[in-house]
Amino acid sequence: MFRKESRRFNEIFLEESCLQRFVLCPESRIQLGWALAATVLIVWDMITIPLEFFPLTEFASHVDNVALASLVFWMLDVPLHLVFGVQMAGVTEMRPKKLFKLYLQSWFAVDMMIIFVDTVVLTLKFIYSSDPNPVFRSGRFLRSLRIIRLVRLIRVAKLERKVSFVANRLLSTYSLMALKVCGYLAVMLAINHLIACGWYGVAYWTSDLGNWLEGASINADSTPDAYVAAMHWSLTQFTPATNPIAPFNGWERFYAIWVILLAMASFSSFIGSIGSTVSSMRAARRGQILEQGKLELFFTERQLSLALFSKVKAALRDDRREQVRLRESEVSLIQGIPERYKVELHKEMFMHALAQANIWPRWIQREEPYFYSSVCHQTMTEHACRAGQDVYLPRTSCCIVYALQTGCMEFVDDDVKTKPVECEPDTVMAVVCLPSLWTEWEHTGRLTAKSGVCHYAGIDCNAFCNLATNFGGKLCEYLKVLGILILGEIESKEGEGIRVSDVSVPSEIPLDGLAPRAEQFAFMRSRASAGTESSVSASVRSTARGKLL
């Protein structure tokens, strides 16, 4: 009855295959760990590969060992794309065939090319280390092989996706903003790192023409001195600032021109982005400080207890940790869409929660197809409650029916002898205060969010009654009869001395036996009323015919 007609956000796509059971969802810890390892290796490549221009001496062996481990890692990464689910276009794709097809269309060719280049370079370096031929043992040949590995920097394009995947899993919104500032600084340092290594590379390949290292009296064989000088020069060109180092030949001047053009295009953008992000962080932090100051002033002016103040602060601190999804009223663009789309929107939002009430006749979808849409659009609203917050308190008037959508709530009866009851979606406890649809009801206990953020839909009782009355006919008769049967069961329980609470229907008063009886009564009454209407219509027609004659 509630068949899905189109794709939905957060929908998970699966298939029947032997590999399906091995596919991991995007939120799995294994995927998170693999993404962390990939991030570390990409950052390592981004730092060390440009350093291949320098004479690394003993450090070169460590770079080669990590390069071998990295090659093994990325070779394993290729088949793992079959079992790592991804989120795309609002849905979760976990079908192995589809995952491999997506990989073929994106990074497969690039990854295979990089793996091939790495394999060739490492093989040639192994031959170089074991072959006594002086051609293969020249330093220029070895450095040329290392420079070929610059192709691995193509993987830097994956870095943003990997970092975003890890950061969204581990960090809060404020921490993400701080990470964004650090990211801008890291990108600027990475660009200057590449430029600095490029300066040394230009000096090395134009050493016969004289270079900036000789002009600045820097030992070219001292990697720390040469790198620090090149990095300092790169930063002064980027900011810009003064530096005694200057290009020495035509190739170095040509390189300096492009560095200055790059700095002019990107430096102001980096500064503006960092400034706007820091301003946003200050504004967010200032708002929190002001609110905390008002809270403390409120308690101070009234000389309230410190114990209560500590409890309130702890509750607010826990409250900020929980993320509540956006409400419809917070999305201003939705308010301007056509009404027919709002009806469809509310039907998709609330249909599942409405079905949990389990009070609907089997023929409603066939004979009253618009009733569900009308109930969702005209009577239902969305609500949220964080862990520890109360949805309602005992002995208060009940005006809505609560249909739990996510999370876990706890119902604590006003009767201390009754144990607390957990309410979860898709269970008999998913709907609370159902009798209030037919009678004035008073809450018999307290409903509290137990864990996480609980989202629930509320059915306005008065609006529902008016809507059912307006629809009339067989459906209205059915709901009337069902209400009479439910209230009769409640009175019977109370007559036996059994306490009826907000969760007694349908947990203790099951609807499976009442709904078919209500359908039969409604069918009989509709036939009787139809017979009365047909006899009246026949009498009217005969009277009219007599008048015409």
Please state, in angstroms and as integers, the Cα–Cα distance from residue 373 to each residue in 316, 339, 346, 364, 530, following that order: 37, 12, 8, 12, 27
Q: How far apart are CA 352 and CA 357, in angstroms?
A: 9
The type of residue at 460 is D
To which H or E segment does residue 423 belong? strand 421-423
Question: Is the previous residue joined to 240 through a cis bond, with omega within 30 degrees of 0?
Answer: yes
Q: How far apart are CA 243 and CA 239, in angstroms?
A: 11
3-state secondary structure 273-300: HHHHHHHHHHHHHHHHHHHHHHHHHHHH
Q: Could you tell me if 469 and 476 are in contact, meaning their C-beta atoms sit under 8 angstroms apart?
A: yes
- pLDDT of the residue at 404: 93
To which H or E segment does residue 463 belong? helix 461-471
Residue 8 makes CB contacts below 8 A (sequence gap 6+) with 91, 348
Collapse the DSSP code of 468 into the 3-class scheme (helix H, G, I; strand E, B; otherwise coil) and give the result. helix
Q: How far apart are CA 401 and CA 449, in angstroms?
A: 16
Residue 198 makes CB contacts below 8 A (sequence gap 6+) with 50, 53, 255
Farthest CA pair distance, the chain: 126
- pLDDT of the residue at 524: 79
- pLDDT of the residue at 471: 85
Residue 457 phi/psi, 5° resolution? -105, 140
Q: How far apart are CA 238 and CA 472, in angstroms?
A: 76
3-state secondary structure 193-247: HHHHHHHHHHHHHCHHHCCHHHHCCCCCCCHHHHHHHHHHHHHHHHCCCCCCCCC
Give the residue from 261, 252, 262 showing the smallest Cα distance to 230. 252
Residue 248 makes CB contacts below 8 A (sequence gap 6+) with 209, 210, 211, 212, 214, 215
Q: How far apart are CA 512 and CA 518, in angstroms?
A: 11
pTM of the model: 0.59
- pLDDT of the residue at 132: 55
Count, residues in the chain: 549
Please state, in angstroms and as integers, the Cα–Cα distance from residue 190 to each residue in 119, 196, 226, 253, 358, following that order: 26, 10, 17, 22, 60
Q: How far apart are CA 241 and CA 274, in angstroms?
A: 20
Per-residue model confidence as pLDDT tens for the chain (549 residues): 444 456 666 678 888 888 888 888 887 888 888 888 888 888 888 888 888 777 777 777 788 788 889 899 989 999 998 888 888 766 888 898 899 898 898 889 888 988 888 888 888 777 776 655 555 555 555 556 566 666 677 777 777 777 776 666 666 666 777 778 888 888 888 889 989 988 888 888 888 888 888 888 888 888 888 899 999 988 888 877 778 888 888 898 999 899 888 888 788 788 888 888 788 777 767 777 888 888 888 888 888 888 888 888 777 776 655 566 778 887 888 888 899 999 999 998 999 999 888 888 888 877 788 898 999 999 999 998 888 889 999 999 999 999 999 889 999 988 767 788 889 898 888 999 999 999 999 999 999 998 778 899 999 999 999 999 988 888 888 899 899 999 999 998 888 888 889 988 887 888 888 888 888 887 777 676 655 444 433 333 333 223 222
Q: How far apart are CA 460 and CA 381, in angstroms?
A: 8
Q: Could you tell me if 244 and 216 are in contact, meaning their C-beta atoms sit under 8 angstroms apart?
A: yes
Sort strands 12-13 and 91-93 into parallel, antiparallel or unpaired: parallel
- pLDDT of the residue at 545: 27
- pLDDT of the residue at 537: 36
Q: Could you tell me if 199 and 220 are in contact, meaning their C-beta atoms sit under 8 angstroms apart?
A: no
Q: How far apart are CA 83 and CA 80, in angstroms?
A: 5
Question: Is the previous residue joined to 506 through a cis bond, with omega within 30 degrees of 0?
Answer: yes
Residue with tokens 């503006």: 272
The tokens describing 152, both together, are 């691995």
Give the residue from 329, 319, 311, 355 showing the smallest Cα distance to 449. 319
